[in-house]
């Protein structure tokens, strides 16, 4: 059952669907025959995405909501369940980041990023998981990050939210798999999206810029992983070697991380 071999007729919810990976994933799922509920704060952008999907023959539901607001999430989930009659696939994709030293990071933003990235995942999973358990069928995707497996300099607040997501997803997968619900954690490396704004790119070492991947690669890997019943993937896959290096030679990994990812000194 963990393998989602066909997306035809699948009822999917995608958070952060107004741009980037979320938008591309919505388009791919619609092409595969899924019914998609598009969630984000920006209604106009959601309507733009939905219009193109509907023109292609897909069923798309626009659901504006702030994932950091528990009341908005549960109201949105109730609406989706009413429209679709259930949900088979939840993609917790909404999130944002930042690129600065922890000492310079505004505390209000540190709280907000945890609210969006981690608690947004918690709220949507809480809202839809009971129905999945009841129907004994469902898939939950947590769009985490390599920064949720390896601490990354200049992304401390962001990395904390991603470590939290990874831990939640791993523990949850044990709890729900016997009820027919499969959890997939996706850990992309640096993805070439507006997540990395001009300021962030200026702070990135050249070698880190060269390792950036297109968002479509993450979408393709996610679809492939769902079809194969994978529990966790890292994109690109070679980064998994760093997990092994950290375990057996942590000093070497620290030196390499500082060389590749450490921004210039102020």
DSSP 77-144: HHHHHHHHSS-SEEEE-------S-GGGS-HHHHHHHHIIIIIHHHHHHHHHHHHHHHHT-EEEEEE-
Identify the residue whose tokens are 């640096």. 190
Distance between CA 136 and CA 176 in Å, rounded? 9
Distance between CA 141 and CA 125 in Å, rounded? 10
Helices (H), the chain: 20-31, 43-55, 70-84, 107-114, 120-135, 156-176, 198-203, 206-210, 215-228, 240-248, 250-261
Instruction: Assess whether the previous peptide bond of 81 is cis (omega < 30° from 0).
Output: no
Distance between CA 43 and CA 198 in Å, rounded? 26
- Report yes or no: 170 and 144 within 8 Å, Cβ to Cβ: no
What's 232's DSSP letter?
E
The catalytic residues are 158
What's 209's DSSP letter?
H
């Amino acid at each position: 059952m963990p393998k989602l071999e066909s997306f035809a007729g699948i009822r999917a919810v995608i958070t952060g669907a107004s741009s980037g990976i979320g938008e591309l994933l919505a388009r791919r799922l619609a092409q595969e025959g899924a019914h998609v509920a598009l969630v984000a704060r920006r209604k106009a952008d959601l309507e733009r995405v939905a219009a193109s999907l509907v023109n292609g023959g897909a069923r798309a539901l626009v659901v504006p909501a702030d994932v950091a607001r528990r009341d908005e999430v549960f109201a949105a989930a109730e609406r989706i369940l009413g429209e679709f009659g259930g949900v088979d696939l939840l993609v917790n994709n909404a999130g944002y980041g930042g690129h600065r030293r922890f000492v310079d990071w505004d505390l209000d933003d540190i709280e907000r990023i945890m609210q969006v990235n981690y608690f947004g995942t918690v709220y949507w999973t809480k809202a839809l998981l009971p129905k999945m358990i009841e129907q004994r069928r469902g898939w939950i995707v947590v769009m985490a990050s390599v920064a949720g497996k390896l601490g990354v300099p200049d992304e401390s607040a962001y990395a904390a939210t991603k470590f939290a997501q990874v831990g939640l997803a791993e523990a949850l997968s044990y709890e729900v798999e016997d009820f027919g619900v499969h959890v997939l954690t996706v850990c992309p490396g640096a993805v070439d999206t507006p997540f990395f704004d001009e300021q962030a790119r200026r702070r990135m070492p050249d070698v880190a810029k060269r390792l950036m991947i297109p968002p479509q690669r993450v979408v393709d890997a996610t679809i492939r992983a769902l079809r194969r019943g994978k529990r966790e993937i890292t994109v690109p896959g070679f980064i998994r070697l760093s997990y092994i290096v950290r375990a057996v030679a942590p000093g070497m990994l620290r030196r390499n991380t500082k060389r590749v990812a450490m921004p210039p000194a102020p």
